[in-house]
Structure 1
């Protein structure tokens, strides 16, 4: 089943998606839903349907696999995203990228703001842009504001790789893809990543491909 029918009420469109069962189809770059502002969640899905939709997002994220998934990526223009990262990486990568395990979380109507001036640049990919990665300089630390799936306030500071995930998924809800923020000269296929750019940090790629990395925070 493809993208839910345009113009159908959101609850009806979500029901159509869930009726098939299993992981949901992920929308690829070029679909207009990925470029629209997602609608703030304000009860469009009743609690039982919201819970089913969240569980479907979780299943789809795991199956992809990925560490985050936003509702527009399955064709639903609501400000809802899920994140989870078991961080199964070598210690040198964990240290270089600040990648630590993150439990499953649901982000409803999230926004973020930078904490400090620090920025970090690493290769990043997206389930809606399969087969490619590029270096993105992002805030090294952010404050996340929003709600969880039960309507409870979320106000938390994230650093390192978790901060990157939060920014990536929240950007989706504003119609922004990671490529919009990426160093265009860094764009690399997954095959090139495996053969050339598997280092914990992208300095070698920056030198070879000719792009700049952010300097230390002032």
Structure 2
């Protein structure tokens, strides 16, 4: 897969768009697949937004993520090609889901300029959705453990290991910043509508779907 083109937005345009987003009394719409902002490499953060604007933008992204609802949101998903994402997973899934998917609580935090690398060769395959691909889900095989690196909104450099569903969330949101959608990495034959998923394949693992759909 060829790298996505790099966004050509200027620092001034980024700041103008961010100010527009935070000043609107309505939450920003989540752009959908087909919008070009989702298919460009977002611009690294290097101070284009001042501290107050960055803080306000992160809060808007948090509220937008909650309202969707979702467990992560990247800035390009609200039309801003900046290497910024927010994550939070405090849902209470049932015990089978917790065990099979290694899904543990992930408190809210924001990441600037994130990157990740696999730790080991283990891969995990599960159904995955996206707020920017409304109505569909597909199985994605991803590294089960990663090391992530990012900058905090306060300017500190962070490095941490993540496993299970937390690792999946970090990978999914970081991929957005490279112009990559989960569909680019999905088992295509697993693709189904949310209605079909709920009716047939809403199990802790995708093994039944793999047998029936042939992936």
TM-score range, shorter chain: over 0.9
Partners of 1:108 and 1:18 lie apart in 2 by 18
Cα-to-partner distance string for 1:105-132 (whole Å, 9 max, x where unaligned): 1010000000000000000000000100
The equivalent of 1:191 in structure 2 is: 195
CA contact (8 A) 1:22 1:56 kept: no
Per-residue deviation, 1:87: 2.8
Aligned positions, number: 207
Equivalences for residues 69-84 of structure 1 within 5 A: 69-84=73-88
Matched, 1:138 2:163: no
Flag the 1:7–1:106 CA change in 2: closer, same or farther, 3 A: closer
The equivalent of 1:59 in structure 2 is: 63
CA contact (8 A) 2:86 2:110 kept: yes
Per-residue deviation, 1:23: 2.1
Per-residue deviation, 1:21: 2.1
| Structure 1, unpaired ranges of 5+ | 212-218
Matched, 1:164 2:148: no
Could you list the structure 1 runs, at least 4 aligned residues long, displaced by more than 2 angstroms after superposition: 5-8
Partners of 2:11 and 2:119 lie apart in 1 by 39
| Structure 2, unpaired ranges of 5+ | 1-8
Partners of 2:92 and 2:86 lie apart in 1 by 18
Matched, 1:41 2:45: yes
CA contact (8 A) 1:84 1:103 kept: yes
In the superposition, the TM-score normalised over structure 1's length comes to 0.93
In the superposition, the TM-score normalised over structure 2's length comes to 0.94
Partners of 2:47 and 2:12 lie apart in 1 by 16
The equivalent of 1:104 in structure 2 is: 108
Please state whether the residue corresponding to 2:42 is helix, strand or coil.
coil
